[in-house]
Amino acid sequence: MSLLAVQGLVAGYAGARIVDGLDLVIMPGEIVALLGRNGAGKSTAVSAITGTLTSMAGTVLIEDVNVTKAQPSRRFQLGMRAVRQDQPILRDLTVAENLRLVETSKEAAAESFPFLAERSSQRAGTLSGGEQKMLAVARSAANPGKLWILDEPSEGLQPMNVDRCAQLIREAAVRGVGVLLVEQHIGMALAVADRWLVMETGAVIDQGKVTANTFETVRRRLAV
Amino acid sequence: MIRRSIPLLAAAAVPLLALTLGGYQGGQFAQFALYGVATAALALCWGFAGILSLGHAVSFGIGAYVAAWFGINVPNGGTLLGILVGGLTAGVVSLLVGLVGLRGRVNVITFALLTFVLLFAAIEVVNQLTPITGGFNGLAGVPPLNIGDTWTADPVAQRVIATIAAVCLLWSLIVVARSPFGGVLTLAKTHAIRAASSGYNIPAFRIGTFAFVGVVTGLAGGVFATQTQFVAPDQISLALATNFVLWAMIGSRTSLIGSFATAIVISFITNELADKFLSVWLLAMGLIFIAVVVLVPDGLAEAVLKRLPKRWRLNRMVELTTATEDVSGGGKSLEATGITCVFGSFTAVDDVNLSVRAGVHCLIGPNGAGKSTLLNALSGTVPPSAGKWRLGDTELTKMRPWQMARAGVARKFQSPAVAGDLTVAQNLAVARLGVTAHPVALIFAPWRADLTSTAWRILEAGDLVRLLDSPAVRLSHGQRQILELAMTFASRPTLVLLDEPTAGMTASETSRIAEILRTEAAGLDIAIVVVEHDMTVIRSAASAVTVLQAGQVLATGTVEEIENNSDVTRAYVGEGK
């Protein structure tokens, strides 16, 4: 049984079909990299899959439960977790409070990102852009549910922290979590992913298993 | 041709309507059109500049009372003089309120409450200053406008004059809203710092707009007094102030014509139903308001516009050209000494010295090293606690962001700051005009701008040229990055500060942008400081690299020197890379 099955998904804003017939499947323990140029519809697809945007057509199933019309909270109950692009942290709370809300400790989070322990009493909104991203990823990694969706987790991170972020994703997959990873950093995405999809004008135009040649194939696909 | 004449026909139709409606209703229509002007003025403030006034009736009431007082007490043409003085007085009061409440960062709620308090103060003044205002009784016997012996006594002529005045006032508001000046207000509504970094003194724009809106509302109030020939405390009341807000909300605060029309229609309905079903009607109004907030939060006009076919939308086209010559930046260098930024007990940037020559100078370092803070300090958006810096011979230390922009400093922010309500081309034009145009000239300027060839190259690299007429709200995150980068290069800067310009871009876009930055820095002889994590960008574009760690300079040198520096590798890239 697939964790996530998306069929013929159509979504967009003000009548524009930004996602137009998207199909994708994620199995438990599998990391799927969703790649594509700017404006291809990746973030809109994430919004429609996570339920923050109402889809116009198509179906979204979580473990065969139809959640196409369901609220984000219902999808959360079924095990879907998401880290959106706009750094979903509680800006007015401290770092430690942000972590406590997802029932994790600063010590556990600091294993990936040590600064989270050192600066635990700082207000999260005053962290730098990259630090806020890491806090968001660490918060989500503490409880990635069954199906973990990340929209550009590596954006704005220094190389060392990109690696740590990749490590967190791998660890989750080893525990059986299915991961949908939206990335511009192809190197990072293909280093962790089992399968890749390339989106263009709202639909998947190419896909495959990650092999030694994938990087070149994908790069050529995106450069056209 | 037909579409172009629609606004003219519509403008002529309003006074004609006043003429054709019967005696009583025609008079009502003229009065409601003046309410409509005040509502549209509020919409300009609220929907475009992002400033909500809960005491908008103050300007209207001042205009009405001053016009009435002059009309009664000054013989021979006192009414006209009174209208003008009333508009001016309302403008001065608004200017003073703006000077108190609109300097620096503006909190919409705080300012709304300030105007709310002002409303109660004004109501109190009207009630207490009985010798001048007539107290509860108001001022009766306001003479009509003197428009010649035959016409002065004719209510129909008075009514037509009043509606023509209303249309002219509405037109002046529309001119401001649709001009590049209105574009600046729209950008500043969501991204005030971005607008400031494009060369606009935003507090002055907001205060000026608020004062202008005060003048227009005051003039509308004055003309209103000549129509009713009687001014009462109703004209400066809580009920009227609330109505202005409701009408603008229902009609669309981003549509001046929508606000204008809604004020007239609702006033008419209220008036018709007032005698028979007043309480039921007030309840219905409340329900309509709630329905609008829930179903069409942007208001009726926006809801209608959204459903119109594209060719019926009167979208302002922007004429973008290419600047004829690329002037050399003259190789000015940035010299910064002792830059220190302290927040409470945390020192984010600690005594940093930075020397940047023409070329691409990359600023790298671990997350939280203080890179963005340093850029904020150098661009004046968050002034540092200590330190001095200069660009060539120009001292930048005490400059505000808009002054820096005019001195040739351009800035791109970490999360892309573009105005979603404007089109891509409008965003670019607003960014381009800030450095050269005078704010008042922007009101009358056409939507036309000459972009540098650099900006065009960036737009082409990001495939945005085909989207110039799309609203920026439709762009993806990465496309907004491209747009804001092009906005940064829209005019000719001599120092460019870029905070992670390629975040969210694809690998191929990133390498194209890196190539553009490298060649343009060399070709134009300008300094570009780039905060960047992508080593491919650094390798292909950087002529110098400075590494920050914990707020201090860890190393500075060429790309090769930095890559071979073991301290940098340990702190930044990680072991074994």
Sheet with B394-395, strands from edge to edge, namely B346-356, B334-343, B386-391, B394-395
Which residues have a Cβ under 8 Å from the Cβ of B247 and sit 6 or more positions away? B35, B36, B39, B259, B262, B263, B266
Which residues have a Cβ under 8 Å from the Cβ of A136 and sit 6 or more positions away? A83, A87, A88, A89
Residue B371 contacts A, CB cutoff 8 Å = yes
Judged against a pLDDT cut of 50, whether residue B144 lies above it is answered with: yes
Q: B523 to chain A nearest CA, in Å? A: 26
Is the dihedral angle over the CA atoms A44, A48, A51, A56 positive or is it negative? positive
Backbone angles phi, psi at A33, to 5 degrees: -95, 125
Judged against a pLDDT cut of 70, whether residue B297 lies above it is answered with: yes
Judging contacts by C-beta atoms under 8 Å, the chain A residues touching residue B503 are: 155-156
- Name the B residues in 288-307 with CB < 8 Å from any A CB: 306
Residue, of A224 and B246, whose pLDDT is higher: B246
* d(C-alpha B248, C-alpha B267), whole Å: 13
Compute the C-alpha angle B289/B290/B291, nearest 5°.
Answer: 90
Sheet with B552-557, strands from edge to edge, namely B409-412, B495-499, B527-531, B359-364, B544-549, B552-557
Judged against a pLDDT cut of 60, whether residue B577 lies above it is answered with: no
Q: Which of A130, A160, A186 sits opposite B368 (nearest CB)?
A: A130
Structure tokens that stand for B61 in this block: 């009431």
Judging contacts by C-beta atoms under 8 Å, the chain B residues touching residue A163 are: 574
Q: Is B422 left (phi over 0), alpha (psi -120 to 50) or beta?
A: beta
* d(C-alpha A218, C-alpha A224), whole Å: 10
Residue B554 contacts A, CB cutoff 8 Å = no
Judging contacts by C-beta atoms under 8 Å, the chain B residues touching residue A223 are: 507-508
* d(C-alpha B158, C-alpha B367), whole Å: 69
DSSP 8-state code for residue A65: E
Residue B14 contacts A, CB cutoff 8 Å = no
Which residues have a Cβ under 8 Å from the Cβ of A162 and sit 6 or more positions away? A154, A185, A188, B533
In this structure, which amino acid lies at residue B148? G
Q: Which of B372, B476, B482 sits opposite A128 (nearest CB)?
A: B372
Residue A196 contacts B, CB cutoff 8 Å = no
**Residues A197, A204 contacting (CB under 8 angstroms):** yes
Chain B nearest-CA residue for A38: B478
- Name the B residues in 341-370 with CB < 8 Å from any A CB: 343, 346, 364-370
**Residues B539, B415 contacting (CB under 8 angstroms):** no
Q: Which of B368, B373, B572 sits opposite A115 (nearest CB)?
A: B368
**Cβ separation A155–B504 shorter than 8 A:** yes
* Residue appearing with tokens 């960036």: B458
Judging contacts by C-beta atoms under 8 Å, the chain A residues touching residue B508 are: 219, 222-223
Residue, of B488 and B6, whose pLDDT is higher: B488
**Residues B218, B91 contacting (CB under 8 angstroms):** yes
Give the pLDDT confidence score for residue A224 in this predicted structure: 56
Chain A nearest-CA residue for B305: A14
Per-residue pLDDT of chain A (224 residues; tens, 9 = 90+): 899 999 999 998 877 889 999 999 999 999 999 999 888 899 999 999 999 999 999 999 999 999 999 999 999 999 999 998 876 789 899 999 998 888 777 777 888 888 888 888 888 988 888 899 999 999 999 888 999 999 999 988 888 899 999 999 999 999 999 999 999 888 899 999 999 999 998 999 999 999 888 888 888 888 75
**Cβ separation B506–A37 shorter than 8 A:** yes
Beta bridge partners of A180: A32, A149
Structure tokens that stand for B178 in this block: 């649709």
Judged against a pLDDT cut of 70, whether residue B403 lies above it is answered with: yes
Most confident range, picked from B141-150, B262-271, B275-284? B262-271
- Name the B residues in 151-190 with CB < 8 Å from any A CB: none
Mean per-residue pLDDT for B441-449? 92
Burial string for A48-67 (b: 16+ CB within 10 Å, else e) reads: bbbbebebeebebbbbeeeb
Mean per-residue pLDDT for B167-183? 95
**Cβ separation A159–B507 shorter than 8 A:** no
Judged against a pLDDT cut of 80, whether residue B458 lies above it is answered with: yes
Q: Name the E strands within B422-494.
A: 448-451
